[in-house]
């Protein structure tokens, strides 16, 4: 039977010390003083129990483990995230006595400083990152193959959402565990729609299409006497999905070639152009359609929709927004409804001198550690199904959380490759050229395909 500390007991954090470098060391609590509460999630039983079992390290007399091993855990240290990971490290310390955890925090510029630490052979044993970094960092040899170690700890990939589980594999081997995921749905300003007399039907977004989307937003936007938008319909469109909506695939199945130079690819670019210039529901590039008063149009309540209502907004919007809000699914295009899928997670550094202890903590992070994270505020949608379908969905929220899960139908992972950031830059350059009327949609997709194929030729295919 799996047990977890309650939030009240977790608040009585175990003894810890803070170093001048900003790390937090979490010492194990006394077993005699621990109080346990049943997790109430059947799916946690096998994997989480094994996660802390390790590889059978010898125990001292009386049932106590030998001298604890300290592992460093690299993570973001922003005000929203640092308390979450402190809580996870504390709960893990209370769970077992074999491994202690120190938080390795470098803010700002975490994603700059972490690769420097890898190159300098002085990096944290376990670290947080997003899936877009997995292939580049695997290419550099920084990630440990954890396939067998997780299997020995009875951590099963089938307990994670499939797309999330897949994003943390390379060539059929696992190089990390997913923590959370998101689907790029829209944010909706309910107050603005109500104020303009538009009554949205329940579940309107389950069946709406591109034409419905345009018709609705044209009732909301406001154009000033100078011809500029004073109220926006939407502030942009999610990456990649504008291609998918028209049936274009950006890369070949093997991810070795760009395949977007097609009528379908050009139609996706034309859609973005028309939103801004023909339908006038999305702002045109500067100097056209400037934000009113220089304010953020979504946060000020002057945009009916925002392009990215992913679950990363959970802690922010209730604090920032003064109007009624929720999330909404994207409309279906000619080839169906699509949402961009993305995830973040954890991995073990290949240069770690404490790999066995690091694996114990990694297994915990991928399973019941996600319950602790969610109990303290959460990050994205938990990748571990028992937590997502239990605590996450059942908790009170101003968001209709189920929509993030509904968006999984038709969701697609980003076209992840080793040079993902460079590839994205190429796409954004030509997309912006189309919006600025410097290129036609057809010219843009031809240039994108040509430049991306030159880029990909310099790298091995994923898993190669």
Q: CB-side exposure of 360: number of CA atoms within 13 Å?
A: 25
Residue tagged 């059947």 (tokens)? 42
- Mean pLDDT check: name the lowest of 23-32, 71-80, 246-255, 434-443: 23-32
Distance, CA of 50 to CA of 53 (rounded, Å): 5
Write the burial class of residue 20 (CB in 10 Å: 0-12 exposed, 13-18 middle, 19+ buried). Answer: exposed
Q: How far is the C-alpha of 95 from the C-alpha of 36, rounded, in Å?
A: 9
**Residue 207: beta bridge partners?**
none
At residue 45, does pLDDT exceed 80?
A: no
Own/partner pairs for 9-18, CB < 8 Å, 24+ apart? 9/34, 9/35, 9/37, 9/94, 10/87, 10/90, 10/91, 10/94, 10/372, 10/375, 10/376, 13/86, 13/90, 14/90, 14/93, 14/94, 16/90
Mean pLDDT over all residues of the chain? 88
pLDDT in tens, 57-102: 333 333 444 789 999 999 988 888 889 999 999 999 999 999 999 9
Q: Computed over its alpha carbons, how large is the radius of gyration of the chain? A: 24
- Strand 339-348 versus strand 177-183 pairing type: antiparallel
Helix (H, G, I), strand (E, B) or coil at 18: strand
pLDDT digits (tens, 9 = 90+) for 360-408: 999 999 999 999 999 998 889 999 999 999 999 998 899 999 999 999 9
Whether residue 213 has pLDDT greater than 90: yes
For the segment 272-281, the average pLDDT, to the nearest whole number, is 98
Give pLDDT tens digits for 414-442: 999 999 999 999 999 999 999 999 999 99
At residue 335, the pLDDT reads 98
At 113 the pLDDT is: 95
Closest-CA residue to 231 (of 303, 322, 306): 303
Mean pLDDT score, 177-191 = 97
What is the mean predicted confidence (pLDDT) over 13-39?
A: 33
Residue 456: pLDDT band (50, 70, 90) is: very high
Secondary structure element (H or E) that encloses residue 233, with its range = strand 229-234
Burial of 49: CB neighbours in 10 Å, binned 0-12, 13-18, 19+: middle
Tens-digit pLDDT profile for residues 128-172 = 999 999 999 999 999 999 999 999 999 999 999 999 999 999 999
Q: What is the mean pLDDT of residues 319-330?
A: 97
Determine the pLDDT at residue 20.
32
pLDDT > 70 fraction of the chain, expressed in percent and rounded:
86
* 22/417 Cα distance (integer angstroms): 34
For the entire predicted model, the pTM comes to: 0.85
- Tell me the CA distances in angstroms from 16 to 28, 29, 90, one per residue in order: 9, 10, 9
Residue 314: is its pLDDT beyond 60?
A: yes
CB within 8 A of 238, min separation 6: which ones?
Answer: 184, 307, 308, 330, 339, 340
Q: Cα dihedral angle (11, 17, 23, 25), rounded to 10 degrees?
A: -70
Picking from 436, 304, 359, the residue whose alpha carbon sits closest to that of residue 177 is 359
Strands 229-234 and 99-105: unpaired
Residue 25 has pLDDT above 90, yes or no: no
Phi (first) and psi of residue 225, to 5 degrees: -65, -25
- Supply the pLDDT for residue 52: 52
Specify the pLDDT at position 77.
84
pLDDT reading at 19 higher than 80: no
Whether residue 230 has pLDDT greater than 90: yes
Residue 62, SS3? helix
> What is the set of domains in the chain, with CATH numbers?
3-181+343-399 (3.40.190.10), 186-341+403-456 (3.40.190.10)
What local confidence, expressed as pLDDT, does residue 79 receive?
Answer: 82
């Amino acid at each position: 039977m799996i047990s977890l500390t309650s939030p009240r007991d977790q608040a009585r954090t175990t003894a810890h010390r803070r170093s001048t470098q900003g790390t937090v060391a979490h010492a194990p609590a006394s077993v005699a003083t621990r109080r346990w509460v049943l997790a109430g999630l059947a799916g946690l039983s096998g994997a989480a129990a094994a996660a802390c079992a390790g590889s059978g390290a010898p125990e001292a007399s009386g049932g106590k483990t030998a001298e604890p091993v300290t592992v460093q855990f690299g993570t973001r240290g922003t005000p929203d995230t640092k308390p979450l990971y402190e809580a996870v490290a504390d709960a893990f310390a209370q769970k077992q006595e074999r491994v202690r955890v120190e938080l390795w925090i470098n803010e700002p510029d975490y994603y700059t400083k972490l690769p420097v630490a890898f190159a300098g052979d002085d990096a944290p044993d376990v670290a947080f990152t997003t899936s877009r970094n997995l292939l580049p960092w695997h290419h550099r040899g920084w990630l440990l193959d954890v396939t067998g170690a997780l299997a020995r700890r009875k951590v099963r990939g089938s307990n994670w959402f499939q797309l999330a589980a897949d994003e943390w594999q390379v060539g059929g081997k696992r190089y990390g565990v997913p923590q959370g995921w998101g689907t790029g749905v829209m944010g909706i300003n309910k107050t603005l729609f109500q104020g303009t007399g538009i009554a949205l039907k329940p579940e309107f977004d389950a069946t709406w299409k591109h034409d419905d989307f345009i018709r609705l937003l044209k009732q909301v936007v406001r154009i000033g006497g100078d011809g500029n938008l004073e109220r926006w319909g939407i502030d942009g469109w999610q990456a990649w999905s504008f291609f998918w909506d028209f049936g274009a695939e950006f890369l070949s199945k093997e991810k070795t070639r760009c395949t977007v130079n097609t009528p379908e690819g050009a139609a996706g670019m034309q859609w973005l152009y028309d939103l801004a210039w023909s339908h006038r529901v999305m702002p045109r590039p500067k100097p056209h359609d400037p934000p009113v008063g220089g304010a953020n149009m979504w946060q000020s309540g002057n945009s009916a929709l925002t392009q990215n209502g992913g679950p990363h907004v959970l802690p922010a919007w209730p604090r920032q927004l003064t109007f009624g809000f929720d999330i909404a699914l994207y409309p279906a295009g000619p080839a169906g409804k699509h949402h961009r899928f993305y995830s973040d997670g954890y991995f073990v550094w290949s240069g770690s001198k404490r790999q066995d202890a690091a694996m114990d903590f990694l297994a915990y992070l991928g399973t019941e550690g996600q319950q602790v994270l969610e109990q303290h505020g959460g990050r994205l949608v938990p990748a571990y199904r028992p937590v997502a379908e239990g605590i996450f969905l059942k908790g009170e929220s101003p968001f209709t959380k189920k929509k993030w899960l509904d968006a999984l139908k038709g969701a697609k992972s980003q076209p992840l490759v080793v040079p993902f950031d460079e590839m994205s830059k190429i796409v954004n350059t030509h997309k912006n050229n189309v919006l600025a009327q410097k290129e036609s949609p057809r010219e843009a997709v031809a240039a994108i395909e040509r430049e991306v194929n030159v880029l990909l030729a310099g790298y091995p295919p994923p898993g190669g």
